[in-house]
Amino acid sequence: MATKKRRRPSRAKRGGISTTHILIVAGAAILVFGMLVVLNANRSQSSVSDVSYETGITSDGEPYKGSPDAPIQVVEYSDFLCGHCGDFADALHALGPDYIETGKVQVVFSNYAFLAPESIQAAQAAECALDQGADKFWLYHDLLFANRGTGLTAYSKPRLNTYAREIGLDTRAFNDCLDSGKKLAEVESDRAEGQSQGVESTPTWFLNEQMIRGALPQSDLRQIFEVQLSQGS
């Protein structure tokens, strides 16, 4: 009596998995991984890697933006933790296309870090950014002020390092600079220099050597600049 051999159900019918399935899943996994890396890499690329105005460093070692030949010079003493300093920086930034990029106003930045240890930390970080170029300093300056509202952790070392990466700094050099504390003396000397000129609070700024205390809104600043320009300063 011939025995009928019962065939085992095929893999497809039993709903099992095959080498093809494994290869497809492995391929899909690699594809998903690739997409995640691309998305992550895009995020990590700096969105602020360039400035549209002239930058440089004064003979005193302070960073400036705008032409050194500009008829108006604004020398500001600021603390990165100070809200009004941020407002003032925002106002100057907003007026940039009309006055700084057109060679009418030059802005010189000096640290006056006194509010908290985080202020001094941020000021040192900004000096470390300056080591890599005045344009990098201004990008870093803008990022610091843009993040000042996120609390004291905004100026924690990890966050300061993150900002450095975001603007495309050499992070190893930046970290070494910040860790070494070599900019502390410079930050303290900036403050002493400010005190010697009568600075007691921030922001304090000098409009063609005339001291003005406190921030001004954008409209008032524009008016002042226009008056100065009409007087042919």
Partner 1 sequence: MRQGIRETNSHFTGHVNWRLWLMRILALAGMGVSAYLTWAHLAHQSVACGQSQDCDMVQQSVYSEVGGIPVALLGLMAYTALFALTLLRGRVAEHLDNYIPLAVFGISLIGVLYSAYLTYLEVFVIYAICRWCVSSALIITAIFLLSLPDLKAEADVS
40 near partner 1, rule: CB under 8 A: yes
| Residue 207: partners with Cβ closer than 8 Å, 6 or more residues away | 72, 73, 74, 224, 228
- Give the nearest distance from C-beta 19 to partner 1 in angstroms: 6
In the bound state with partner 1, the residue whose beta carbon lies nearer, of 180 and 197, is: 180
In the bound state with partner 1, the residue whose beta carbon lies nearer, of 9 and 181, is: 9
Which pair of structure tokens corresponds to residue 143? 């990022």
Cα gap 101→216, rounded to integer Å: 20
Cα gap 54→67, rounded to integer Å: 6
Residue with tokens 């009568």: 198
- Give the nearest distance from C-beta 167 to partner 1 in angstroms: 11
Determine which residue in the list 3, 43, 196, 225 makes contact with partner 1, applying CB under 8 A. Answer: 43
Number of helices and strands in the chain (H, E): 9, 6
Contact pattern from residue 142 through residue 161 relative to partner 1, giving x for each residue in contact according to CB under 8 A and a dash for the rest: --------xx-x--xxxx-x
Cα gap 87→202, rounded to integer Å: 11
- Give the nearest distance from C-beta 140 to partner 1 in angstroms: 15
Cα gap 10→44, rounded to integer Å: 49
- Contacts (CB under 8 A) with partner 1, residues 161-180: 161-162, 165-166, 171-172, 175
In the bound state with partner 1, the residue whose beta carbon lies nearer, of 58 and 156, is: 156
Main-chain dihedrals φ then ψ at residue 21, nearest 5 degrees? -55, -45
Q: Which residues bind partner 1 (CB under 8 A)?
A: 8-9, 11, 14-19, 21-22, 25-26, 28-30, 32-33, 36-37, 39-40, 43-44, 150-151, 153, 156-159, 161-162, 165-166, 171-172, 175
